[in-house]
Copies of this chain bind each other. A is one copy, B any other.
Amino acid sequence: MKNASAEEVVLEIKDKSELMVDLAYSSLLYNNKTIAEEVYDLENLIDELYEKLQRDTLEAVAKQELPPNSALTIIKLAKAGEEIADAAQEIADVQLRDVELHPIITMSLKESDEVLTRVFIKNESVFCGKTLGELKLGSETGMTIIAMRHQNRWLYGPNKNTRIDPEDILFAKGPEDAEKHLQELAEGKTQEI
């Protein structure tokens, strides 16, 4: 195993685990079991990545390709990501098991430092037919898309090449004062990104 690939796995665990936390809270906020189930699937993926990383890292140490100190850091960082993923799963578990979430909890989540929101893309939205890379939504509006529904297909952690079409539903997170702007863009009430 090359060092670089271990680092890539650590990074993948980091990014996926943080996405999972956002997805888990979104599943609570929007009472959405599909998103909660995705958190479960991602948790399985993270467990596999973590197991493989540990094995590969220790083999690399045995072959003297990796200093023990570096191996320890890699495993420790991956472990922290794996624990964040576990926590995300527990949050999603509340959505999957609870009969009904207390409305005060949902309200309370809405007051978070980073808000989670859901927008429906109307035909007249300036987003239609454009990719996330073209729109630069993150830097232009402050909102990051964490999941989206396109017809019956779900996409989690979409990338720059993901295109937005009419009737898509976007799940996003970002600062409180950016939520309204995203909503207006999605509804076609404003064309200025």
Contacts and interface: CB of A to CB of B under 8 A. Distances in A.
A83 B80 contact: no
Interface in A120-163: 136, 138-142, 144, 157
Contact of A83 (B8, B83, B101, B157): B83
Given A138-B174, A138-B175, A139-B175, A8 B98 contact: no
Interface residues of A, number: 56
A167 B75 CA distance: 37
Of A87, A91, A144, the most chain B CB neighbours within 10 A belong to A87
Nearest to A86: B83
8 contacts: A3-B104, A11-B109, A73-B101, A74-B105, A80-B88, A83-B83, A136-B175, A139-B175
Interface of A: 3-4, 7-8, 10-11, 14-15, 18-19, 21, 25, 69-70, 73-74, 76-77, 79-81, 83-84, 86-88, 90-91, 93-94, 98-99, 101-102, 104-105, 107-109, 111-114, 136, 138-142, 144, 157, 174-175, 177-178, 181
